[in-house]
Amino acid sequence: MADARRMGKMELFAHFADKFDLKRTVVRDLFDELLVLSEKELKRTGEFTVPGMCKLVVQHRLARDGRNPATGETIKIPAKTVVKARIAKQLKDAVLPRK
């Protein structure tokens, strides 16, 4: 079985640097710019798509009642805004086994 350790940021940058014959600092700058661009687009339109990989979507959650699992006591969960990732179908199909 292959090594189960996940790829870290430095390994990711090294992979792209080797693959495209770039300096790691250039690859890091590309990923930094992707992050900046995704933040701008999420604020502007509420979504950002990385083609073939995922779509990031801003979601507004309403306030609701919840339950403290330790005590069973009813609690108020405040409204909040979150960012959700929706995985692209082609990536799901490539990774997940078919039924």
* Domain boundaries defined on the chain: 7-45, 46-99
Q: Are the beta carbons of 21 and 46 closer than 8 angstroms?
A: no
pLDDT the model gives residue 99: 72
Residues 6+ apart with CB under 8 A from 8: none
How many CB atoms sit inside 10 A of residue 16's CB? 15
CB of 91 closer than 8 Å to CB of 53: yes
The burial of 68, by beta-carbon neighbours within 10 Å (0-12 exposed, 13-18 middle, 19 or more buried), is given as exposed
pLDDT band at residue 3 using 50, 70 and 90 as cut-offs: low
* CATH assignment of 46-99, among 4.10.520.10, 3.90.230.10, 3.20.20.80, 3.30.2350.10: 4.10.520.10
Largest CA distance in the chain: 58
Please write the tens of the pLDDT for every residue from 71-89.
999 999 999 999 999 999 9
| 17-63 pLDDT tens trace | 999 999 999 999 999 999 999 999 999 999 999 999 999 999 999 99
1 confidence band (pLDDT: 50, 70, 90): very low
